[in-house]
Structure 1
Amino acid sequence: MESTKVQVMESSFVAPSEAAQATGLWLSPLDLALANRGHTPVVYLYRSGAAFSDVARVKEGMAKALAAFYPLAGRLGVNGDGRAQISCNGEGVLFVVARCDLKSDDLDLTKPSPELRRMFVPRVEALSLILAVQVTFLKCGGVVLGVASHHAVADGPSMFHFMVTWSAFTRGGDGTGVELPCHDRTLLRARSPPVVHPGALSVLCPRVTFSETPERPAATKVFTISRDQVVALRRLCGGASAFSSVSALVWRCTIVARRLPPNAEARLSFPANVRRRVTSLVPDCYFGNALVWLGTAAPVRDITSEALASVAGRISGAIARMDAELVRSAIDYFELAGMDSRPLRGSMPETEIRITSWLGMPAYAADFGSGNPLVMSRAESVRGGFVYLIDDGPKDQRGAGAVRVVMCMEAANMKDARPAAPFLRGLCWLSSPPVGGGPNPSISHY
């Protein structure tokens, strides 16, 4: 693939259909904790581009959605105290229309790469720009929709909420049945004075120092675990959730791949959605970042020797401890820590792994009028130690329930990740089990 195969036809800004009162929207400590992540790039592949052929109608649908999701049309700035905020000025969302001489069969949108991002996601020059989208018409009649949204403004659930709303208005709906977002970010304000409960520190994930090491570049690999394999894995893990079960296997395989010393302490961290676990704090329609970073740590020898169900139990146990007090402690912790404005670059230490799950979210629900997307994925993943779990297709398609594991780690530890290799063997076995079966090495050897 080459970026020259994409030709930009149009570039403009889409403003909300109804002007909101210009104001500064305060950012919560959970927003500030993710400000250095920059823009999250994702891509959607649609088999038919018919719904996008009337670009004016797609823009009109976006303008109506932005009337409700007005922070996305603003710009990042600072208030009088120097604290980051959203300037809700209605300047609009960058909207790019492009054409590409490739067909959908020529593309593998399930594997993130810098080239994929360059081709299908708008380049955001101004860091204050919150949202940018690109509609790229393919030679086969399909469409790739690329989206770049700033993480300081919205998390995954918030952006999926916007995408569903935008697509509903584009289909010609009047908004009936669409749940409006809640913009009251003071619901996640720190206490005065901030108080971090001592018991929360064993579960909350501390800030991790990233390092840029050109001699240890990162590489990305994608593994797909089928629905039947997920069911078997959950059974092996004592009925744990798909997230806990898959994460347990990924954690173990990563430790083996990195050849960590038995005495080293390994840590797994992950964002937990406050909306799902502590409904008394924020409603399900809360727009912003409502994620608390949890973690669990143990000696390498324990993670590689104990039953996989026990490893999954460590993860489930951390989730079970998430209550209102823990969330409040997390908010206070990040308020005290302040915002790290330095762009996040490099990789995590080899003892760390961070798993973000989009499982069960409406990632495939953005139907603009000609069907749900065939593929939804991150466009790029370049930070070593980061793993993403994504549903491998819409719920109504054949094979629904499969999990796509997007893993980014040190290239030196990834390059031999194949079924015959001594590491990442468990993931490879689940992705491509040997003909006729055979023992699952993640069970019999790890």
Structure 2
Amino acid sequence: MDSEIQVVESCFVAPSKISRRKSLWLSPLDLLLTNRGHTPTVYFYHPGDGAADFFDVAKLKAAMARALVDFYPLAGRLNTDDNGRPEISCNGEGALFVVARSNLSVNDFNDMKPSPELRRLFVPRIEPSTLVLAIQVFNVVCEQVTFLKCGGVALGTALHHFSIDAKSASLFFNTWAAFCRDGDSADVEAPCHNRALLRARSPPVVNPEHRSIICPTPRFTEPSGSMTSEFFSLSKEQLGALKKLCGGASTFCAVSALVWQSTLIARRLAPETETRVMFPVNVRRMMKPPLPDSYFGNAVIFLVSTSTVRDITSEPLYSTAKRIGGIISRVDDGLVRSAVDCLALAEKDNQTLKATGSVPDTDLVMVSWLGMPLFDIDFGWGKPQVMSRAESVRGGFVYLMNGKPEDDDGRCAVRVLTCMETANIKEFERLLYAQL
């Protein structure tokens, strides 16, 4: 490791009781994300009242071992069955748990700009995911607790996206935190592991009316130049002004419209070029019957809105926001079933698709973490000062996140994390704020 980080311990935390040992079948929505690798996040905590047991390692491990009894897939490994289809081997081997010390402090990372450096320092190192056809056995979840010289702690996590989505991740992390914080009195919700609820129909049937808005997977290509990741903050006043411009649209639709328009203008694309914005939608409540809120797996489908550069850059923002909102309003049980069946039909092709690099400069992928209970996870020593992705290197991916906890006075309502061409990002920033 680098001189800034000294690893004190590296071990595996197994479930505290014998959990189910079997192979867990993955739905088509899980397989869509098999090649995406681990999602790296980092939380920074400050000791506050100077508790003597601040982030007690033994307590954290014991709480995780308890949580892994119910969340047993996270103690397993990514593997393949006899036919080469990915699955989770629920073998109880445990989650990787690393303890480290650092001569860095929280103030060294005030801007929390995602970068390979931030990930390298605070997130456990994992070999890059390979293509499914040559798949290796991977840990599902890895944690690193780094004690900083200022007395604070950085909690870095790496969770493979094939296993769960952000909603499921929040259920696990909050359960782990509750066991650590409240012990035997913890009030937690057991996860639902029945991924057959998202099995494709037999035979698969895709409604022709749904094909134009279902996005089986984003396209990836090598970036044409250097890429830069930056956070842009919108205050409550700016967000209110934006939503007014967009005719009262939702936060997601309004911000997505602004980002889409600003990106296309900054990139100076030909007016007749086709452009797409893609976004995942949580389908738990959209199905009949609805999936349990505690469904533990990937329960998101990717939808797409397609237009021309001329239309998006010349029309008022409310029209672009309406385009996106119109797609979302069409999500119902029938569309979800069509999306699952579409992915099942494309399963063999998806397993060989490249999932590194950037999306084409005509495209954007908008991912919302807004409102997710991921930003204030309290293990018993207070809420984090800030939470973020540790790294964001895929060009064209944009993440919408809650403002920092200390910004409750309105200084930051939404953080927009975007990764785009270094040559265009200053112009993008100018355009982003020009109408607010």
1:111 aligned residue (85, 110, 113)? 113
The SS at the match of 1:355 is strand
Aligned pair in 2 of structure 1 residues 72, 175: CA closer, same or farther (>3 Å)? farther
Q: What is the CA–CA distance in structure 1 between the aligned matches of 2:220 and 2:137, rounded to whole Å? A: 21
Question: Of residues 277, 281, 292 in structure 2, which corresponds to 1:268?
Answer: 277
1:109 to partner: Cα distance: 5.7
Equivalent residues in 2 for 1:12-411 (5 A)? 12-48=11-47, 50=51, 52-108=54-110, 110-125=112-127, 128-174=138-184, 176-213=186-223, 215-278=224-287, 280-338=289-347, 339-341=350-352, 344-394=355-405, 397-399=408-410, 402-411=413-422
Report how far residue 221 of structure 1 moved. 1.5
**Count of aligned residue pairs for this structure pair:** 423
Cα distance in 2, alignment partners of residues 223 and 271 from structure 1: 21
Unaligned runs of 5+ in 2: 128-135
Q: Which residue number corresponds to residue 432 of structure 1? A: none
SS of residue in 1 equivalent to 2:183:
coil
**Hey, what's the Cα distance between the residues in 2 that align with 1:17 and 1:109?**
38
Point out the more displaced range, 76-85 or 355-364. 76-85
With 398-407 and 266-275 compared, the bigger mean Cα shift is at 398-407
Deviation string for 1:186-232 (max 9, x for gaps)? 0000000011111111211243331124x512211110111221122
What per-residue deviation string (whole Å, max 9, x for no partner) do you get for residues 251-287 of structure 1? 0000011111111111100000012433624111100
- Alignment-mate amino acid for residue 118 of structure 1: R
Corresponding position of 2:7: 8
Distance in 2 between the 1:336 and 1:388 partners? 29
The answer (yes or no) to whether the contact 1:16–1:64 under 8 Å persists in 2 is: yes
**Offset at residue 18 of structure 1 (A):** 1.3
Quick one: structure 1 residues 401 and 157, their matched pair in 2 at CA, closer, same or farther if it must change by over 3 Å? farther
Q: Helix, strand or coil: the match of 1:292?
A: strand
Q: Which amino acid aligns with 1:354?
A: V
- Paired amino acid for 1:350: D
Contact 1:76–1:128, Cα closer than 8 Å, also in 2: yes
SS in 2 for 1:382: coil
Aligned-pair CA distance for 1:340: 2.0
Give the residue type in structure 2 aligned to 1:103. Answer: S
Show CA shifts across 1:424-443 (max 9, x none). 4232x2xxxxxxxxxxx337
TM-score, structure 2 normalization: 0.93
Letter in 1 for 2:215: C
CA RMSD of aligned residues (A): 1.9
Shift of 1:341: 4.5
What SS does the corresponding residue of 1:76 show, helix, strand or coil?
strand
Alpha-carbon distance in structure 2 between the residues aligned to 1:404 and 1:265: 28
In 2, Cα distance between the equivalents of 1:323 and 1:16? 37
- Tell me the secondary structure at the aligned position of residue 424 of structure 2: helix
AA of the residue aligned to 1:248: A
Q: TM-score, normalised by structure 1?
A: 0.91
176-185 vs 320-329, which deviates more?
A: 176-185
Give the 3-state SS of the residue equivalent to 2:184 in structure 1.
Answer: coil
Go from structure 1 to structure 2 and tell me whether the alpha carbon gap of 1:242 and 1:301 turns closer, same or farther (over 3 Å shift).
same
Moved more, 71-80 or 388-397: 388-397
Q: Judge conservation of contact 2:231–2:416 (CA < 8 Å) in 1.
A: yes
CA distance in 2, matches of 1:321, 1:425: 33
CA spacing shift, 1:137–1:40, aligned 2, 3 Å: same
Cα distance in 1 for residues equivalent to 2:286 and 2:23: 29
After TM superposition, give the deviation of residue 342 of structure 1 in Å.
Answer: 5.2
How far the C-alpha of 1:33 sits from its partner, in A, is 0.3
CA distance in 2, matches of 1:88, 1:103: 37
Flag the 1:346–1:235 CA change in 2: closer, same or farther, 3 A.
same
CA drift of 1:367 comes to 0.3
Native 8 Å contact 1:188 1:281 kept in 2: no
**How far apart, in 1, do the equivalents of 2:239 and 2:271 lie?**
28
Structure 1: runs of 5+ lacking an equivalent: 430-440
Q: Is the 8 A contact 2:28 2:344 kept in 1?
A: yes
1:3/1:115 contact within 8 Å kept: no
1:370 aligned counterpart, secondary structure? coil
Separation (CA, whole Å) in 1 of partners of 2:430 and 2:386: 26
State the alpha-carbon separation in 1 of the partners of residues 253 and 145 from structure 2: 35
Cα deviation digits, residues 149-199 of structure 1 (max 9, x gap): 000001111111111000000113326431111000000000000111111
The one-letter code of the counterpart of 2:157 is V
